[in-house]
Structure 1
């Protein structure tokens, strides 16, 4: 799941123009003469009304939610990935027992799916009424056009996120870069203070990479860096910040419970084992290996990210002086 989708799952991002969406749902209510115009988000296990029309007789408010398990019109739209128009729900056997109908005021529903740019369903845009309706085809088409306006806003946000990801991502490995560490690292420090956790920092460096570059070319060195990035991603959690911060220097930032240093050390050793296994039959004379420096910072120690990185960098150099296994 992208960071943008995670943000929407918790709350709409600040870049989103909810006032424009409010104008859209109010327009639905006015044009269709309906009790409720709404843009509804699908979050995986529930539906949440993000924007609802401001007319006095609207029965659905912003923030109202209902579970996926409940039989609903929005669920059918998401499942089918297609429009749904039910003009007289109470008179249709398929819908007469749906909770919004038999226990609620809904009698008519017209909705379209809204998609993320990658094709995943974001939610629905809909006109919901407390009376039966007879919409002409042009009204159905208009709802599709309004859906396209909302989709355009999501595309805009998607493009912004992609630009931001380019700015904080290392082009070779796909990991975060120094800019990403500066941005996200401070967030982890704030989270540590908030939840009373420790913050584990690990500094990694490839041993003898220069010899590999000199003897076999920089493209082989790049293969080595990509292999280390893959080992880091396999050995650490998806929630950990994993970054390439220099030529052959990598950093991991992990929120952890007190006393977790041993567990993190095992993950570091796993990285080294994976890396050596990758090159066990290559470059035997060069003795490629990984050195690391690890420290878990308590809430009292954490604060200056640069100073924390310097500390684990120094610990890494101490490890580099040790004799590594073949």
Structure 2
């Protein structure tokens, strides 16, 4: 009989993860080799302490779920890089990620829901897994153990994986915020570069007002700005040029109509409130 336990930790959200509905999955987080080596030691220790052939850290990679770290233990059939399409894979870990809950399957062979899942073909008939998430609740993957014999995984083993899980999620939290900080620093650096560009002496034609770039080509000022900064230019007429083109009386009538429309807009907005 399948046993599923609601086992949630602080900082976890209760929402059901709708991974399969994402048309543009995010790029997987870049994890440094030093962290991967630490995770390798963690899953090795976990598998040995629990006396099981397999300890894994699984990761979502776009539309796939992959073996990210696999314990270096005897009888482990999983290798880093092994992957399956996530949605509809039938893997134990798919259920863990989609429900964001712990999953315990003592013996898949005696459970009609799990007896045909892909891991049974590798003789991995028992499973205990937990969701791994980022600080914002987004799923990273799972941390799990599998056995080739029936295993009920007592409370001490559950508590052990819980503590290992918190260590991994602490690393994920640090990596997550370092990534955000790096993106913000890059944006700030771009702004500084733009400001530096605009502080230079800009050669402008005194007749047509075109700007000469660093390669000696003359450009309209709006093209020059858009190329060197994130600014986008729009076009209009100043009062002086409008009067030259259309006459002072026409410009006054246009401005008066614009003011009347603005008054009407404010009046309607006030009435609605």
Q: TM-score range by the shorter chain?
A: 0.5 to 0.7
Larger CA Rg, structure 1 vs 2: 2
In structure 1, the residue matched to 2:150 is 132
The answer on 1:177 being equivalent to 2:191 is yes
Q: Quick check: 2:27–2:61 contact (8 Å CA) kept in 1?
A: no
In structure 2, the residue matched to 1:117 is 135
Measure how far apart 1:160 and its partner are. Answer: 1.7
- Of the three residues 28, 33, 44, the one matched with 2:46 is 28
The 5 Å alignment of 1:214-253 reads 245-246=194-195
In structure 1, the residue matched to 2:248 is none
Normalising by structure 2, we get a TM-score of 0.62
Distance 2:82 2:217 in 1: 50
Measure how far apart 1:43 and its partner are. Answer: 2.2
**Residues 190-220 of structure 1, C-alpha deviation per residue, up to 9 Å, x if partnerless?**
xxxxxxxxxxxxxxxxxxxxxxxxxxxxxxx
Measure how far apart 1:72 and its partner are. Answer: 0.8
Distance 1:318 1:32 in 2: 67
Q: Could you say which structure has the greater relative contact order, defined with CA pairs below 8 angstroms and 6 or more residues apart? A: 2
Q: Secondary structure at the match of 2:122?
A: coil
Q: Quick check: 2:127–2:147 contact (8 Å CA) kept in 1?
A: yes
In structure 2, the residue matched to 1:285 is none
**Residues 128-169 of structure 1, C-alpha deviation per residue, up to 9 Å, x if partnerless?**
111111211121121111111110011111222233223222
Measure how far apart 1:7 and its partner are. Answer: 4.8
Q: Quick check: 2:105–2:152 contact (8 Å CA) kept in 1?
A: no
Distance 2:64 2:58 in 1: 10
The answer on 1:6 being equivalent to 2:27 is yes
Question: What's the Cα RMSD here?
Answer: 3.1
Q: Quick check: 1:168–1:178 contact (8 Å CA) kept in 2?
A: no
The answer on 1:152 being equivalent to 2:164 is no
**Residues 157-182 of structure 1, C-alpha deviation per residue, up to 9 Å, x if partnerless?**
12222332232224xxxx94346xxx
Q: Quick check: 2:47–2:73 contact (8 Å CA) kept in 1?
A: yes
**Residues 48-86 of structure 1, C-alpha deviation per residue, up to 9 Å, x if partnerless?**
111101113110011111121210100000010011111
Q: Secondary structure at the match of 1:55?
A: coil
Distance 1:311 1:13 in 2: 41
Distance 1:41 1:312 in 2: 52
- Of the three residues 202, 219, 240, the one matched with 1:315 is 219
Uncovered stretches (5+) of structure 2, i.e. residues with no partner: 1-21, 199-208, 225-233, 238-273
Distance 1:76 1:292 in 2: 62
Measure how far apart 1:317 and its partner are. Answer: 3.1
Q: Secondary structure at the match of 1:94?
A: coil
Q: Quick check: 1:38–1:51 contact (8 Å CA) kept in 2?
A: yes
Measure how far apart 1:310 and its partner are. Answer: 3.9
In structure 2, the residue matched to 1:194 is none
User: Aligned residue pairs: how many?
Assistant: 192
Query: In 2 relative to 1, CA 40–315 (structure 1 residues): closer, same or farther, beyond 3 Å?
Result: same
Uncovered stretches (5+) of structure 1, i.e. residues with no partner: 180-244, 250-290, 294-308
Q: Secondary structure at the match of 1:17?
A: helix
Measure how far apart 1:46 and its partner are. Answer: 1.2
Distance 2:62 2:236 in 1: 47
Query: In 2 relative to 1, CA 167–57 (structure 1 residues): closer, same or farther, beyond 3 Å?
Result: same
